[in-house]
Amino acid sequence: MSLPLAKTKFSGKTITLSHGAGGKAMHDLIKEIFIAGFDSPELSLLEDQARFDLNELTKLGNRLAMTTDSYVVDPLFFPGGDIGKLAVTGTINDLAVGGAIPLYLTCGMIIEEGFPIDDLQRIVASMKATADAAGVRIVTGDTKIVPRGAADKLFINTAGIGVIAKSSNILASRAMAGDVVIINGYIGDHGAAIVDARGELALEIDVETDCQPLNDLIQQMLAVCPDIHCMRDATRGGLATVLNEFAMSSNIAIQLEQTKIPVREEVRGVCEVLGLDPLYLANEGKLVAVVKQEDADKLIKLMRQHPAGKNSCVIGNVEASPQGKVILATGFGGNRIIDMLVGEQLPRIC
């Protein structure tokens, strides 16, 4: 589904170096593409910074959360998403898994000379639509144009600010023996979608990226279970890396059940062809949470009622030892250690 583009008087078909030179061409680019596209009251002021009322922020909580990330995905457009949706989603989710309510985003773009204006507008429209759906505003930004060959089409940096409620204390170091591990759906969809979009292999798969903001789901989870111990989104390095981070930070062991981990058959097939492990494939809409066992049933019931969590399930539990290890009980009755990802399975995945 194509997104509506902001009405613009912008002339020209491609980005030129003059669009980064600080003069009229740059002013027109900012005004007609970014300000018109993002439609943010803070951005339209054209100040060098966005300003906020602290009293409004403190009504939501007593701590600020801030994060930043850069996006270099190749290709820029892929099944179910694009670099713009990915940038907004990734930053929102990095805030949300810490218990923060995401509020504001920045957007920095490094654009290669010759980049098509139509593609830039599509990406801006995608960012706007994703931010709107998540209740977040893009409030300030920066644009740099580099000569042909100095960058690969388009790189985006986003930073985000959110507010954490007083009751929330989500940390990677809070997992305890007896806890259970929950995930909100199928793993590996994003990685498989990028492989498909690159067209380097003769694969015929019908998998879209799982790219989606998780802040609404997480706030609903916190409403019924304020004491979530650990939570992160499983992006680069996948599920395996997140669980290793929990195990090492909390000095506990995590026991996974392979038969309980949801993986689409199409994704499993891609992994078999390419010699990949779905546990390490990137996701862009999957959270991993560690909670008390007595809270698991009510959380799963709630999560399955949300569009972003309809396939939520328990995939493992936390044990006291061996400390710092993640162990997978395989479908064949054996166990194997799941280490952190070594190297890069798929470069430029996000």
Give the end of a domain, one of 164, 198, 214. 164
pLDDT of residue 258: 96
Please, which residues have CB within 8 angstroms of residue 210's CB and are 6 or more apart in sequence? 80, 185, 186, 189, 190, 283, 284, 285, 286
On the CB side of 270, CA atoms within 13 Å amount to 29
- Does a structural domain hold residue 2? no
Q: What is the pLDDT along the chain (350 residues), one digit of tens a residue?
A: 556 565 556 778 999 999 999 999 999 999 999 999 999 999 999 999 999 999 999 999 999 999 999 999 999 999 999 999 999 999 999 999 999 999 999 999 999 999 999 999 999 999 999 999 999 999 999 999 999 999 999 999 999 999 998 889 999 999 999 999 999 999 999 999 999 899 877 677 889 999 999 999 999 999 999 999 999 999 999 999 999 999 999 999 999 999 999 999 999 999 998 899 999 999 999 999 999 999 999 999 999 999 999 999 999 999 999 999 999 999 888 999 999 988 777 889 99
Cα gap 220→180, rounded to integer Å: 19
For residue 200, the model assigns a pLDDT of 74
Residue 350 domain flag: no
211 and 329, same domain (yes or no): yes
Domain that holds residue 262: 180-337
User: In this predicted structure, what is the pLDDT of residue 6?
Assistant: 55
Query: Is 77 within a domain?
Result: yes
Is position 327 within any domain? yes
- Residues 84/120, Cβ–Cβ less than 8 Å: no
**333 and 184 part of one domain:** yes
pLDDT recorded at residue 333:
86
Task: Please report the pLDDT score of residue 8 as a whole number.
Answer: 58
Instruction: Identify whether 24 is part of a domain.
Output: yes
pLDDT at 203: 73
Q: Looking at the DSSP assignment, which residues form a beta bridge with residue 3?
A: none
Q: Which of 118, 135, 164 is the last residue of a domain?
A: 164
CB 159 within 8 A of CB 67: yes
Alpha-helical segments (H) within the chain: 24-29, 36-38, 41-44, 54-58, 83-96, 117-134, 189-198, 215-224, 238-250, 265-274, 293-303
CA 208, 213, 219, 222 dihedral sign is positive
Residue 93, amino acid: N
CB 51, CB 168: distance < 8 Å: no
No. of helices (H) and no. of strands (E), the chain = 11, 13
Task: Enumerate residues 6+ apart whose C-beta is below 8 A from 52.
Answer: 104
> What type of residue is 32?
E
In a domain, 260, yes or no: yes
Q: Which of 137, 164, 191 is the last residue of a domain?
A: 164
The backbone region for 39, taken as left when phi is positive above 0, alpha when psi lies in -120 to 50, beta otherwise, is left
- The CATH number of the domain holding residue 157 is 3.30.1330.10
Q: Read off the tokens for 123.
A: 């990406």
Query: Which pLDDT value is given to residue 185?
Result: 98
Total residues found in the chain within this entry:
350
Residues 303 and 185 in one domain: yes
Question: Cα separation of 339 and 337, whole Å?
Answer: 6
